[in-house]
Structure 1
Amino acid sequence: MSSLTSSHRAERQLLRQLFDAAVHAVDPLVCVGPALPDRPAQGRVIVLGAGKAAARMALAVEQAWGTDAPGAAVSGLVVTRYGHGEATERIRVLEAGHPHSDAASTEAARQMLALARSAGPEDLLLCLISGGGSALLSLPAEGVSAADKRAVCAQLLQCGAPIAEINCVRRQLSAIKGGRLGEACGAARVLTLVISDVPGDDPAVVASGPTMADASSAAQALAVLHRHGITPPASVHRYLTRPAARPVVATGPREVKLLATAQQSLEAAAALARHFGLQPLMLGGSLEGESRDVAAVHAGIARQIRSHGQPLAAPCVILSGGETTVTVRGDGRGGRNAEFLLALAQAGADVPGLYALACDTDGIDGVEDNAGALLDPSSLARAAALGLSAREHLQRNDAYHFFAALDDLVLTGPTRTNVNDFRAILLR
């Protein structure tokens, strides 16, 4: 980064401040406490949770209620991604595989179902659900091979299927998702707190809705596999073509609260942008599609702003969220946010003074160690000086090494929250 001008550094720092504001707005330590009911005086509070934000949500519960304060005893279990844990006192934290489930994912699901079944009518089940829970809480339905389920999910991830379709298949092949954890709670009161990472913010889709009844069907899951050219293994095909199963039924009181969304993170960034004298253009938190296609659309909007002052004039910042996808064609490294930026670098090469940041709010872009990356008007020239071709790196899905060579990766470590992608394009 030694070749960057002071103005480049300043604009990049501003983008990073916008991202930090977006993440802070959806931090569980900020949003969980105000959503909690009064701590019950009797019975037990059993905390169950799954997702990248689950451990920090559990910590927020302990901080809000106090581990030794009067009232119902608080205990429980949450599962999060490896490296995303927190030091809690009464609520156990397990770590498991993501985006591919592992033996720890299965063990967490078994223990959680056992805790749910232990609840009585006088108990409160507090379920803490966030993105990533689908892989972290994995227990195949009876008759489905664990290896077969993992293989199907891996193929869906590899081919770039939308998250809603992936989670439809996951719910149908699960013994705990699609409301089955909620059903196991019996007559106990169940309160589900959700931090959403899905476009549209449907709580039943986040982590495949372990406490919410599944509105999809086995036929729909089978159609998803066929649509993406995936031949289901024998145990999966047999299960999805079996006679219709009985519906999942919840017997006790059920309540769901949506705590944090991509929209909230974008609004926090927009407020800070206004403070810096920038007009924010909000494209919304529900954008989906191939990363490189979404990048082309963003480049077109930036070009219209620069050329015609429409739909607003610079200085401004374009803000968007959601979950793009990457169809893997090459053997490179890089998540969807780095791929978005690499495609934007090419599609917006003719847009003067374009700065951009794209990061995953959980701090991990796909399976890499970076949250995302930064782009500025000097990026392509600096890459060329190093003998790097943006086009060739994009063809290989190798955005990680492109931005790493420029020292333009954004490294935050796990943020312990997750409302999916955050993108900001700055035009002065």
Structure 2
Amino acid sequence: MAENHRAFLSGLFDAAVAAADPLNALGSNLPGAPRGRTVVVGAGKGAAQLAQALEGLWDGPLEGVVVTRYGYGAPCRSIRVMEAAHPVPDAAGLAAAAALKAAVSGLGPDDLVIALICGGGSALLPDPPPGLTLADLQALNTALLSSGAPISVMNAVRKRFSGINGGRLAALAGEARICNLIVSDVPGDAPGEVASGPTVPGRASAADVRALIEARGLSLPQACADHLREQGEDPAAPTGNIETRIIASAALSLEAAARKAREAGVTPWVLSDRIEGEAQEVALVHAALARQAASAGTPYPAPLVLLSGGETTVTLRHRGKGGRNSAFQLSLALALEGEPWFHALAADTDGIDGSEDNAGAWVDGSSVPRMRAAGLDPLGQLQRNDSYVAFRAVNDLFMTGPTGTNVNDFRAILITGAAR
């Protein structure tokens, strides 16, 4: 029976990922062909798959370059695919940023730039401003990733330390027409937040970012803090001939999962596609809603599946292993320990939860007792940021490998009956 529950939840995940499939997402969103050149640039964990799909759909010559995470490449005929480090940038990312800048330079009004942008691009396109180095950006990203700050805050900071993000790549394209085709992995689907918006003009002022850092108590590496303190205001951002289309998102993927659930006779309850917050705390809210539904039958009776998306965060206090989805799941398992009426899956739609090799994890009422039987302290594992090890011990890691897309987190809690 447990395997049937897992098959159902896995089917919902597959439906969510399929809704963001590059071929499906691009098909109805292609721009008109230009009189001149068509140059493709892109960045993110699914950028290579988007480029590959575009080559199959585009009627005419293409050129350009996209960058993706190591191991996420896909063969392309005319578009160059580069790979670099994520989530902390490396020298290959520097080379990729330079290649994208070169690709859009020297274009004219008869040319078209197609920008394929998806989650992960911020780390894949390091382009330090004068006076800073790659090492400074590596230290900055490490500090931000361990801070527990939401993605919108991290990207606002990152844009102040980049010569390519916040629309600066678009500015280099001059008078060329730009069509942004974006797979959104950010809550609310703000185009400039995805991959820190290399081709979407706009970034928060230096003063606003300094205030944001102070309000949240963030600690930046000294070289970065000095650079931000010395920054003045930006010149007016170029708007140019830019069209932006969100071609896939968490909202669309949750709709697809909800349809799949209905087909199986299970009522979907879509909580939100833009949930943020500390993973452990978000899990407790989900547990409370699940318990309410199971005990009172509201808002819907069982069988019921709670669906949500967005991007939670984890404040790193220890050097354990595990991403935000496994942290969410371990917190959920502790909150609903022993309850026989729930089964849950939480996973990142790109196939990688944080920096590990799993997409996420499975839990049900037996998860915590099984971890204890394996000699582990589940609460201690959660507090030590070591959720991956806890799920590995009971063979409950959810493994998919790279999916070729990225619309952020997918969470599904199946309620099969009434609570005791």
TM-score over 0.5 for the pair: yes
1:282-321, aligned counterparts within 5 Å? 282-321=270-309
Q: State the partner residue of 2:152.
A: 164
Q: State the partner residue of 2:20.
A: 26
SS in 1 for 2:130: coil
1:203 aligns with 2:191: yes
Residue-by-residue CA offset, 1:131-164 (whole Å, 9 max, x unaligned): 1000001101223333223212210111111110
The equivalent position to 1:233 in structure 2, one of 215, 222, 243, is 222
The equivalent position to 1:384 in structure 2, one of 363, 372, 385, is 372
- Whether the aligned pair in 2 keeps the contact of 1:142 and 1:175 (CA below 8 Å) is no
- Whether the aligned pair in 2 keeps the contact of 1:179 and 1:212 (CA below 8 Å) is yes
Unpaired runs of 5+ residues, structure 2, are none
Q: State the partner residue of 1:401.
A: 389
Q: State the partner residue of 2:111.
A: 123
- Whether the aligned pair in 1 keeps the contact of 2:89 and 2:137 (CA below 8 Å) is no
- Whether the aligned pair in 2 keeps the contact of 1:145 and 1:236 (CA below 8 Å) is no
- CA drift of 1:313 comes to 1.2
Structure 1 consecutive aligned stretches of length 4 or more whose deviation exceeds 6 Å? none
1:226-375, aligned counterparts within 5 Å? 226=214, 227-234=216-223, 236-251=225-240, 253-349=241-337, 351-375=339-363
Q: State the partner residue of 1:63.
A: 56
The equivalent position to 1:213 in structure 2, one of 201, 223, 231, is 201
The equivalent position to 2:176 in structure 1, one of 173, 188, 196, is 188
- CA drift of 1:215 comes to 4.0
- Aligned CA RMSD, in angstroms, stands at 1.4
Distance in 2 separating the partners of 1:235 and 1:205: 21
Distance in 1 separating the partners of 2:342 and 2:234: 54
- Whether the aligned pair in 1 keeps the contact of 2:337 and 2:367 (CA below 8 Å) is no
- Whether the aligned pair in 2 keeps the contact of 1:193 and 1:258 (CA below 8 Å) is yes
Q: State the partner residue of 2:414.
A: 426
The equivalent position to 1:77 in structure 2, one of 60, 65, 71, is 65
- Whether the aligned pair in 1 keeps the contact of 2:147 and 2:218 (CA below 8 Å) is no
Q: Partner letter of residue 337 of structure 1?
A: N
- Whether the aligned pair in 2 keeps the contact of 1:159 and 1:228 (CA below 8 Å) is no
Unpaired runs of 5+ residues, structure 1, are 1-6
- CA drift of 1:262 comes to 0.2
Inter-CA distance 14–303: structure 2 relative to 1 (3 Å threshold): same
- CA drift of 1:94 comes to 0.1
- CA drift of 1:384 comes to 2.5
Q: State the partner residue of 2:43.
A: 50
Distance in 2 separating the partners of 1:47 and 1:158: 33
- CA drift of 1:235 comes to 5.1
- CA drift of 1:196 comes to 0.3
Inter-CA distance 48–240: structure 2 relative to 1 (3 Å threshold): farther
Distance in 1 separating the partners of 2:232 and 2:31: 41
SS in 2 for 1:35: coil
Inter-CA distance 301–320: structure 2 relative to 1 (3 Å threshold): same
- CA drift of 1:231 comes to 4.3
SS in 1 for 2:42: strand
- Whether the aligned pair in 2 keeps the contact of 1:144 and 1:236 (CA below 8 Å) is no
SS in 1 for 2:273: coil
- CA drift of 1:249 comes to 1.7
- CA drift of 1:236 comes to 4.2
Inter-CA distance 255–143: structure 2 relative to 1 (3 Å threshold): same
Inter-CA distance 343–60: structure 2 relative to 1 (3 Å threshold): same
- Whether the aligned pair in 2 keeps the contact of 1:161 and 1:228 (CA below 8 Å) is no
Distance in 2 separating the partners of 1:240 and 1:137: 23
Distance in 2 separating the partners of 1:110 and 1:240: 26
- CA drift of 1:389 comes to 2.0
The equivalent position to 2:93 in structure 1, one of 93, 105, 111, is 105
- Whether the aligned pair in 1 keeps the contact of 2:139 and 2:221 (CA below 8 Å) is no
- CA drift of 1:381 comes to 2.6
SS in 1 for 2:192: coil
Q: What is the number of equivalent residue pairs in this alignment?
A: 415
Distance in 2 separating the partners of 1:94 and 1:411: 25
Q: State the partner residue of 1:176.
A: 164
- Whether the aligned pair in 2 keeps the contact of 1:354 and 1:376 (CA below 8 Å) is yes
- CA drift of 1:239 comes to 4.1
Distance in 2 separating the partners of 1:202 and 1:84: 25
Distance in 2 separating the partners of 1:117 and 1:406: 53
Q: State the partner residue of 1:139.
A: 127
Distance in 1 separating the partners of 2:296 and 2:155: 42
Distance in 1 separating the partners of 2:7 and 2:93: 38
Distance in 2 separating the partners of 1:181 and 1:127: 10
- CA drift of 1:232 comes to 4.3
- CA drift of 1:390 comes to 1.3
Q: Partner letter of residue 19 of structure 2?
A: A
SS in 2 for 1:19: helix
Q: Which of 374-383 and 82-91 deviates more?
A: 374-383
Percent sequence identity is 50
- CA drift of 1:224 comes to 3.3
- Whether the aligned pair in 2 keeps the contact of 1:290 and 1:325 (CA below 8 Å) is yes
Distance in 2 separating the partners of 1:370 and 1:231: 30
- Whether the aligned pair in 2 keeps the contact of 1:306 and 1:351 (CA below 8 Å) is no
SS in 1 for 2:80: strand
- CA drift of 1:354 comes to 1.1
TM-score under structure 1 length normalisation: 0.94
Q: Partner letter of residue 245 of structure 1?
A: D
TM-score under structure 2 length normalisation: 0.96
